[in-house]
Amino acid sequence: MALKEWIIAKQGKERRYLTRFSIGATLFFAGAGAMLFADNRISPSLTQEVVTLIGLTTAASGALISLSAYIMLTLLRLFSDTRND
């Protein structure tokens, strides 16, 4: 029951989670772009590996941010649709 109350307390802040989703998606695609850039434009070297690692961590963090925001948006919508006032 505590989870439901916590989610209900977060209602009205959907815009915040939509912004987090957008930022996470931007980070994800920037990281994926960095990995593609390193694969196609940088010759095999330590620099290529470092750029790829930075791209991978950026993409992974962006994916986690987007995923958490999307789950929260889904929960907010579920609880707003099923709420009995």
pLDDT tens over the chain, length 85 residues: 688 788 888 888 899 999 999 999 999 999 999 999 999 999 999 999 999 999 999 999 999 999 999 999 998 888 876 666 5
- 5 belongs to a structural domain: no
Query: Is 36 inside any structural domain?
Result: yes
Is there a domain that residue 11 lies in? Answer: no
Total structural domains within the chain: 1
Asked whether residue 48 is domain-assigned, the answer is yes
**SS3 category, 43:** coil
Determine the pLDDT at residue 3: 80
Answer yes or no: is 25 within a domain: yes
Helix (H, G, I), strand (E, B) or coil at 82: coil
Contact 11, 34 (CB under 8 A): no
- Tell me if 9 is assigned to some domain: no
In a domain, residue 2? The reply is: no
On whether the CB atoms of residues 33 and 52 are closer than 8 A, the answer is no
- For residue 72, what are the domain limits? 17-81
Check: CB of residue 78 under 8 Å from CB of residue 30: no
- Residue 10 included in any domain: no
